[in-house]
Amino acid sequence: RKEVEQDPGPFNVPEGATVAFNCTYSNSASQSFFWYRQDCRKEPKLLMSVYSSGNEDGRFTAQLNRASQYISLLIRDSKLSDSATYLCVVNALGNFNKFYFGSGTKLNVKP
């Protein structure tokens, strides 16, 4: 079983829509969670960390559900510029600094 699993998508949504992605992880002891964004032929960039209590950054909200071992990313009022692949990241068992990346969920925001 992969350490991190994501729906590859693509999610095709109109501008202004709200879209949510989930990501499941296999290690119940994981402590560090992140969402990264990767544009085509570019490097992954840190979008936001995910905290136990959930956190928000503008139009982006991240949630952690430890009981079900998943994290989520909600994007409100989506923009054309949000089109990218979103990568879920979880730390390895017993190692806060070894990160596993999901294969990514592709988002296409259409005019």
Instruction: Tell me the sheet residues that pair with 55.
Output: 62
The correct pick among 13, 55, 70, 100 for binding another protein (CB under 8 A) is 100
| 99 touches another protein (CB under 8 A) | yes
Q: Which is nearer to another protein, 26 or 76 (CB)?
A: 26
Q: Would you say 105 and 85 are in contact if contact means Cβ atoms under 8 Å apart?
A: yes
| CA separation for the pair 20, 15 (Å, rounded) | 14
Enter the DSSP assignment of 17.
-
The correct pick among 9, 44, 54, 60 for binding another protein (CB under 8 A) is 44
| 51 touches another protein (CB under 8 A) | no
| 66 touches another protein (CB under 8 A) | no
The correct pick among 12, 18, 49, 65 for binding another protein (CB under 8 A) is 49
Burial pattern 40-74, b for ≥16 Cβ within 10 A else e, equals eeeebeebbebeeeeeeeeebbbbbeeeeebbbbe
| 97 touches another protein (CB under 8 A) | yes
Applying CB under 8 A, the residues found at the interface with another protein are 32, 34, 42-46, 49, 87, 89, 95-104
